[in-house]
Amino acid sequence: MKKSVSALLEQAATACAQARKGVALTGAGISVESGIPPFRGKGGLWEKIDPMKYAHIDALENNPAEVWQVLFMGITEVLQRAAPNAGHTGLFRLEQMGVLQTIITQNVDGLHQRAGSGDVIEFHGTHAVLRCMGCHRRYDWQEVSLATVPPLCACGAFLRPDVVMFGEPIDIKLLQRSQRLAAGCDVMLVVGTSATVQPAAYLPVIAKRNGACIIEINPEPTELTHHISDVPLLGAAGTVMERLVARVAQLRQA
């Protein structure tokens, strides 16, 4: 028999209240309520153009000006207006309660750190810093003129945000640390990710194999929902997280 939403929420809260080594895996969906549209699915910014077409390293290498104008400047603009939402602050509260150890995020928006979270693995890098394609020197955005894009490094090569694009590898140290955390966690909260981008999507599988309880928060069913998730909570990250955290706090005090 299918469990009711409140029964699932109680099950998730109980697992979190007992956890000591929780890990969260987050994706674009956790920042939707902050006004940052995901690449997949509905979202004003990307309705006319397909960001996936621009998010591959080959596109950047072949046509840097266009990728800069469409993708990087588009992201810069929405990030300027964005602030953490109840999804981000909820994960910070779980860290304060000693439930959550680390957040592994696929996002490049820095909102977990702004919400206060102390240990955030930026699996796909960060949009907050620029890096030279030639000599790898890093720049702050303020140091760089955007009068023409792509901006150039002192060495003559062009700059790009320090993010991992499709077709590029994940930093091996971050990957290994994430895999170790996934294998050692007691609860994994998977929030706002379609779990289709590898190798991040494999982390819940590692956690599950090693006995962790997988709690998933997403308004839509995903690849994980039926076979990997122990507790699927259907709903928006902010709303669900608020209810979950309030209940975990009650159970922890009891």
8 Å CB contact between 191 and 30: yes
CA dist 200 → 24, 97, 117, 179 (Å): 12, 26, 20, 9
Contact between 144 and Zn ion by CB under 5 A: the answer reads no
What distance in Å separates the CA atoms of residue 193 and residue 210, rounded to the nearest whole number? 21
Contact between 231 and ligand NAD by CB under 6 A: the answer reads no
Q: How far is the CB of 166 from ligand NAD (least distance, A)?
A: 8
What distance in Å separates the CA atoms of residue 124 and residue 66, rounded to the nearest whole number? 21
Contact between 208 and ligand NAD by CB under 6 A: the answer reads no
**Binding-site member from 19, 31, 102, 233 for ligand NAD (CB under 6 A):** 31
**Binding-site member from 134, 184, 219, 235 for Zn ion (CB under 5 A):** 134
**Binding-site member from 8, 15, 23, 32 for ligand NAD (CB under 6 A):** 32
Choose among 60, 205, 38: nearest CA to 106.
38
What distance in Å separates the CA atoms of residue 191 and residue 176, rounded to the nearest whole number? 21
Choose among 94, 34, 39: nearest CA to 215.
94
Q: How far is the CB of 14 from ligand NAD (least distance, A)?
A: 22
Contact between 130 and Zn ion by CB under 5 A: the answer reads no
The contact pattern for ligand NAD, residues 9-28, with x = CB under 6 A and - = no contact, is ------------------xx
Contact between 220 and ligand NAD by CB under 6 A: the answer reads yes
Contact between 36 and ligand NAD by CB under 6 A: the answer reads yes
Based on the number of CB atoms within 10 Å of its own CB, is 19 exposed (0-12), middle (13-18) or buried (19 or more)? buried
226 is catalytic: no
Q: Which residues bind ligand NAD (CB under 6 A)?
A: 27-33, 36, 38-41, 106-109, 124, 192-194, 196-197, 217-220, 222, 236-237
Q: Annotated catalytic sites, by residue?
A: 124
